[in-house]
Amino acid sequence: MEKRRLGKTNFLVSVIGFGGIPIQRVSREEAIEIISAVKEAGINFIDTARGYTVSESLIGCGLEKHGRENFILATKSGKRDYNGILEELNISLKNLNTDYIDLFQFHNIKSLEELDFVMGDEGGLKALKEVKAKGIIKEIGITSHMPEVLDKAMDTGEFATIQCPYNPVERQAEEVFRKANKLDIGVIVMKPLAGGAIQNTDLSLRFITNNPNVTVAIPGMDSVKQVMENAKIGEKIIPLNEEERAILFQEAKELGTEFCRRCGYCMPCPQGIDIPSQFLMEGYYKRYNLKEWALDRYHAMEFRAKDCIECGSCEKKCPYNLPIREMLKRVDMLLER
């Protein structure tokens, strides 16, 4: 498995990492078997999150069985405040059966205002710097779907890594990745298969890992078979030929007609709907087979697809000309139950 230096962390990580979202739907025994396969395949980077229900706990079972020392472990929290981030860190340590975490990340910072709060006197960054000084975490990272948030975060000099969606459909972060490379900041690619929408798995992973500014891609996996298939891509990074590129980008083109990149330009919605999150939950329901989890998160939102009044203001702002109103109707029919 090819390994790359994760920026200034100096961690040498496998170019294909383990994405921890789907593992939450397998049994404890299956999870242990999957982590065993991860180790055998030469994958040493594992990414999970507090928000992935039992993902941390299941991975923790696998680490206990197959050796915490064999992995570079990353998790993340959606909390923004000082006390909240410490509370979640302690839960993660317990769930993962470890006394330290290699990379602790702020999960899905959605705006520059959120970033400013995180970095303020009452924000979580202060807390993480304190526990880092004690060795409880080794490095601090940030994830976002918004390249401009990551761009500003990198300028602060406080973050060792960034994580953002990147695949043949979602390429909006390429310039940010170039900047990260120059600043020696590690680049972690989430959604390498566009949330399961891309069917040409091997081609998409090869496209991503051939980008010299990418450190590690973390496709979600929930079976030994997926681990073995994805790991093969990292054994030898082979560039796409012209025919393969044509196949991959034709698929991307077809997806692009109604595929939300979560860029956020459609916001704010006059009705208060978090439009990108509607499509994110739809994807988790349909493509990740996390139906109950998606429904719980969807119904926890105060304003949902059902509240759309079809004013069309979102469509005027969408740079991809998506038929957002029709797409929201489909979300409503699928998830409003």
61-106 pLDDT per residue, tens: 999 999 999 999 999 999 999 999 999 999 999 999 999 999 999 9
pLDDT tens, position by position, 43-54: 999 999 998 989
pLDDT at 25: 87
Distance (Å, rounded) from C-alpha 219 to C-alpha 231?
A: 10
Place of tokens 């991503």: 208
pLDDT tens, position by position, 152-177: 999 999 999 999 999 999 999 999 99
pLDDT at 315: 94
Q: What element of type H or E holds 333?
A: helix 324-335
Distance (Å, rounded) from C-alpha 265 to C-alpha 316?
A: 10
Domain parsing of the chain, residue ranges: 3-239, 275-335
Identify the CA nearest to 274 among candidates 328, 225, 323: 328
- Which homologous superfamily does the CATH classification assign to the domain defined by 3-239? NADP-dependent oxidoreductase domain (3.20.20.100)
Question: Is the pLDDT score of 239 beyond 90?
Answer: yes
- Pairing state between β 72-77 and 101-106: parallel
Q: Are 213 and 180 in contact (CB under 8 A)?
A: yes
Q: What is the dihedral of CA 159, 162, 163, 168, to 10 degrees?
A: 170
Distance (Å, rounded) from C-alpha 306 to C-alpha 335?
A: 10
Q: What is the mean pLDDT of the chain?
A: 95
pLDDT at 43: 98
Identify the CA nearest to 235 among candidates 39, 71, 15, 13: 15
Question: Is the pLDDT score of 319 beyond 80?
Answer: no
pLDDT at 289: 81
Distance (Å, rounded) from C-alpha 103 to C-alpha 186?
A: 11
Distance (Å, rounded) from C-alpha 279 to C-alpha 216?
A: 25
pLDDT tens, position by position, 268-290: 999 999 999 999 999 889 888 88
What value does the mean pLDDT take over residues 135-151? 96
What value does the mean pLDDT take over residues 9-14? 97
Identify the CA nearest to 306 among candidates 270, 278, 268: 278
Q: Are 162 and 104 in contact (CB under 8 A)?
A: no
pTM exceeds cut of 0.95: no
Give the SS3 label for residue 145. Answer: coil
